[in-house]
Structure 1
Amino acid sequence: MTASTDLRKPRKLAMLALTAASALALFGAGPADALPYRDTLTQWADRLDAAAVELDRAPVQTSTRIGEGGLMKLGSSGERVGRLAQRLVELGLLPADKVSEIFTTDIDHAVKAFQIAQRMKPDGLIGAGTRAALDRTPTEAAALMRQSATAMRSFRDTAPDNVLVVNLTNQTTTLVRGGEEELTMRAIVGRPSRETPLLTDRITHVIVNPTWTVPPTVLKEDKLPNLRAKGTPGIQNAIVYLDGQEVAPETVDWHDVTPGRVRIVQQPGDHNALGRFRFNLTNPYDIYLHGTNEPRLFARELRSISSGCVRLEDPRRLAELLLQGSTVTPARIDRMLDKPQPQWIKLPTPMPVQFVYWIATVEADGAVRLHPDIYDRLDDAPAAVSAPAPLPNTVPAAMPAAAPTTTPATAPVAAPPAVGQPDAGRAAMPLNRSTADKAADKSSV
């Protein structure tokens, strides 16, 4: 019997066990017609409430908790593997006589069936996301659905017609203009020790070909040790400053140099950690949106891996839409990309941005999905997911064309003096860093 054949029965069982698994409930026959975004939020909230009612009606079942711990996969062993196997039995995915404290092929197939049913990547790995979904009871799932439904209705009633919505739990970014959804893309958000905060903010500038100034924590814990050990920061095409003066790093004895005296700026280009586009916000934490030089990371299902900023899958398209109707056309953006220096563009009207924490969402075919609680906010979820204070609903549905003048409002402007300065805002944010986080800093922003 092939592995593909082995998976058929667990897949069918997984679909029957969705309600008990509390991670995916199917409602509706197929994709809904495009609706105004507020109507879409209403439809989503109603669907979440309906799914919660279905879970309330489900029979009470035994629910073995796997509990937090390290990654489990084929070949792993221990008490948590035994609890995993028992949980899969309860969900109807594993025969009772296959329970084992060794992660067997039978358990691997059952885990993959569970992941397929929940539209997760069927890799057989029990990481934080899959473990949380397995541990979740119907009562807990129903409560999360109702929390998200309440948050969506609040957002619907207070958000402006023009807004960029960043949902941290499913790592997506959606542009809404004139009340209509124009663009949705994958995003990468802060990892648990470097949470992306829930912000109400606005985009004021688009920067084509940005530089990247190494944040203080990364400088202190990674790049300065590199300078001391190897005479190089380990960043491609970077300029190193000591006491405000550019230096050849290999000529300096860095052992007695303190981090506050050092600044490292990566120059523009495809190698730059911010990619080719940066979208400036106004918050004091130095949190902003940008591209990336590692697009492969968007293939991950769980993308909470940055140092706090939000990376965008298609920043070029977002820039074009934000600048639509202005003097900065796609052809002009092409010319800017060919320039070696950063090109600053001020938006005629800032674009509101709201970060949300909707753990339950509704997919195009009506499927309800519960996402991992990446920042462990379940206890304070009602406060965390509440829509931020409304912004004035004055942003036009489309950017107005710039008035004919020798200096258009959207013409590239000189970079403010603060650009390239040390990241003082992020240094002030409390950090609880693990060894893995420090390693990730080498490429994460």
Structure 2
Amino acid sequence: MIKKYLIVLIAISISLFACKDGIKVETMPEKTFEEIKLKIPKENKIKQHSMDSTSFAVIKDSIILSFYQKNNLKTFWVSDVVRGNLLQTLYNLEDEGLFKSHFPLDSIDKQEQNITNLSDNDLVNYDILLTETLLKYLIKVSRGSIQPNKFYNDYTLNENSFDYLTVLKKLQNEDFEAAIASIKPQHLVYKQLKEALKLIDEFKINSFPRIDIEDKIRLGDSLEEVAVIKERLIFWKDLSPKDSLTLLFDEETELAVQKFQMRHGLAPDGVVGAGTLSALNITPAERKQQIIANMERWRWYPRSFGDEYIILNIPDYSMQVVRNNDTTRSHKVIVGKASRKTPVLNSKLTHLVFNPTWTIPPTIKKNDIIPATAKNRSYLTDKNITVYDRSGAVIKPEDWNQRDAVSYRYVQSPGNYNSLGLVKFMFPNKYAVYLHDTNSRSFFERATRSLSSGCVRVQNPFELSAYLLDDEEKWSLEKILNLVKTNKTTEARMNRDVQVHLLYWSAWSENGNLKFRDDLYEKDFKLYEALSNQL
């Protein structure tokens, strides 16, 4: 629908950079362009121009070439309304976590202001510039600025592909905003991140002094640092503003600390220890970087997770099973430690193994099993590990030879002592990781659960097994529990498609509240730095 009046407000922000620990920190936006108002009583158009061979030759991108060929080699952005919609999209690109400094907005602004005085050749070049800029925007906002499989060695994701030419063609004949929105991620978390970006911009300062304490601070303590902690809690809106701040760590402060801790995935004990202090010292500018990095990741993730899927958030130590957009199960998980990261991947559940054996993978064999066996040969017997040579012959502990140790195959027998516990959930991937039970179930009570060697340990695995197999006759919970008592290794094939998504996101928002998790693998700020340098 053509509007009678179109007002395009353009506010371009300078990117002010400060250097902190070698990372560029982009400050909150400030206006740099004069406000432009296009008052149009009707849909005005500038004259459409044909593109000669000289103009056409400067276009290098095949998508843009095809776009203009479909448009009979004529300029496209002749309607002031359509062009105004484009300008609004470009001038609001920071809402998508993109960087204005990566787009030629200065040049676009100058030419737009002077559009009635541009020569025919300049109008053609301006039209091409607008199309090139929009395509760059579409690519960045749809599949990201960085290829994850090249940036990380622990990511295996299929790159999202889009028909950009079709999107470009839709812009004139369909609702402009809807055409642009169709290419953006539609996941709830991405929308929560966009909201988080707005929320973090409400904080008008970028940084604050570090808080340093020697010991934990808890209820009843009276220290100078308590007043500073209260100020910080008021800043983050976890504590109500006060006319004056006392030095007493009172019950109201304890509750505010607990609220802050819950927003950050910390144990809500109301005590300011190392973890809580670290989170309190992260600045708004750094939190904004974290949000932008997570928005980029969600542009990498599949547009559809499937009708039924398992989705796991590594920094949150949580896993959900979703069927037809409804979360049907939630489980705590234990993920890989920083030195042995759980990878990011998409796959499909194929089968479950009850009472599994464990063939020890190369990294654990080299770093854990061989050193332990070299110190004490009884280690193998204590852990119920059988050793095989290359021919498949069993090597007795007394015959174990350290010089040949790397060539041996080490297999742990089924049972309660098995590191995989009593069930594992299999899905193909190049990292040889899977979901599994554990023989250390008390670890699920910890707030920080990056403890494994890369695989994912799942709480309540038998209930999950019965749900996924969904066969009361063969695989009821009761029958599964009876089966695991036998120590007999048994395989159960899946009878329906359940996708598996091991993902990494450390920021979002819920009901107007910012949520953050510890960046376990130190991915956020490195990614932000790479993004800020991407043109």
Shorter-chain TM-score bucket reads 0.5 to 0.7
Change (3 A) 1:383 1:359: farther
- Deviation string 1:265-310 (CA, Å, 9 cap, x unpaired) is 2211222111111011211211111010111111111211111001
The structural deviation recorded for 1:171 is: 1.1
Q: Which residue in 2 is equivalent to 1:336? A: 483
Equivalent residues in 2 for 1:171-186 (5 A)?
A: 171-186=317-332
Matched letter for residue 311 of structure 1: R
Checking the alignment, whether the CA contact within 8 Å between 1:236 and 1:271 is kept in structure 2 is no
Matched letter for residue 55 of structure 1: I
Q: Does 1:199 align with 2:372?
A: no
SS of residue matched to 1:192: coil
Q: 1:230 aligns with which of 376, 380, 399?
A: 376
Return the alpha-carbon distance in structure 1 between the equivalents of residues 342 and 484 of structure 2.
28
Matched letter for residue 396 of structure 2: A
Equivalent residues in 2 for 1:230-269 (5 A)?
A: 230-233=376-379, 236-243=382-389, 244-249=392-397, 251-252=398-399, 254=401, 256-269=402-415
TM-score norm. by structure 2 comes to 0.53
Checking the alignment, whether the CA contact within 8 Å between 1:113 and 1:122 is kept in structure 2 is no
The structural deviation recorded for 1:316 is: 1.1
Checking the alignment, whether the CA contact within 8 Å between 1:42 and 1:153 is kept in structure 2 is no
Checking the alignment, whether the CA contact within 8 Å between 2:230 and 2:253 is kept in structure 1 is no
The structural deviation recorded for 1:110 is: 7.3
The structural deviation recorded for 1:57 is: 2.2
Q: Which residue in 1 is equivalent to 2:93? A: none
Q: Which residue in 2 is equivalent to 1:216? A: 362
The structural deviation recorded for 1:229 is: 2.8
Return the alpha-carbon distance in structure 1 between the equivalents of residues 233 and 325 of structure 2.
44
Q: Which residue in 2 is equivalent to 1:91? A: 232
Q: Does 1:316 align with 2:462?
A: yes
Q: Which residue in 2 is equivalent to 1:373? A: 519
Q: Which residue in 2 is equivalent to 1:117? A: 260
RMSD: 3.9
The structural deviation recorded for 1:228 is: 2.9
Q: Percent identity?
A: 27
Equivalent residues in 2 for 1:107-186 (5 A)?
A: 114-119=257-262, 120-122=266-268, 124=271, 126-127=273-274, 129-145=275-291, 148=294, 157-186=303-332
| Larger-Rg structure | 2
The structural deviation recorded for 1:159 is: 1.9
SS of residue matched to 1:227: helix
Equivalent residues in 2 for 1:16-95 (5 A)?
A: 45-60=190-205, 62-65=207-210, 73-74=215-216, 88=229, 91=232
The structural deviation recorded for 1:132 is: 4.2
The structural deviation recorded for 1:191 is: 0.9
Return the alpha-carbon distance in structure 2 between the equivalents of residues 373 and 58 of structure 1.
22
The number of residue pairs the alignment matches comes to 326
SS of residue matched to 2:415: coil
Return the alpha-carbon distance in structure 2 between the equivalents of residues 225 and 381 of structure 1.
36
Change (3 A) 1:173 1:226: same
Return the alpha-carbon distance in structure 1 between the equivalents of residues 440 and 321 of structure 2.
23
Q: Does 1:357 align with 2:504?
A: yes
Q: Which residue in 2 is equivalent to 1:389? A: none
Change (3 A) 1:88 1:343: same
Return the alpha-carbon distance in structure 2 between the equivalents of residues 277 and 74 of structure 1.
40
Q: 2:493 aligns with which of 325, 346, 350?
A: 346
Q: Which residue in 2 is equivalent to 1:270? A: 416
Checking the alignment, whether the CA contact within 8 Å between 1:208 and 1:278 is kept in structure 2 is yes
- Deviation string 1:142-186 (CA, Å, 9 cap, x unpaired) is 443455467568758422121110111101111112222111111
Return the alpha-carbon distance in structure 2 between the equivalents of residues 97 and 178 of structure 1.
52
Change (3 A) 1:236 1:341: farther
SS of residue matched to 1:340: coil
Greater displacement, 201-210 / 157-166: 157-166
SS of residue matched to 2:375: helix
SS of residue matched to 1:175: strand
Checking the alignment, whether the CA contact within 8 Å between 1:172 and 1:184 is kept in structure 2 is yes
Which stretches in structure 2 are left out of the alignment for 5+ residues?
A: 1-185, 218-222
Matched letter for residue 117 of structure 1: F
Matched letter for residue 195 of structure 2: A
Change (3 A) 1:323 1:382: farther
Return the alpha-carbon distance in structure 2 between the equivalents of residues 210 and 122 of structure 1.
36
Checking the alignment, whether the CA contact within 8 Å between 2:386 and 2:410 is kept in structure 1 is yes
Change (3 A) 1:268 1:73: farther
Change (3 A) 1:366 1:54: closer
SS of residue matched to 1:136: coil
Return the alpha-carbon distance in structure 2 between the equivalents of residues 259 and 46 of structure 1.
51
Return the alpha-carbon distance in structure 2 between the equivalents of residues 198 and 258 of structure 1.
34
Checking the alignment, whether the CA contact within 8 Å between 2:355 and 2:490 is kept in structure 1 is yes
- Deviation string 1:21-66 (CA, Å, 9 cap, x unpaired) is xxxxxxxxxxxxxxxxxxxx86655454334323312232651246
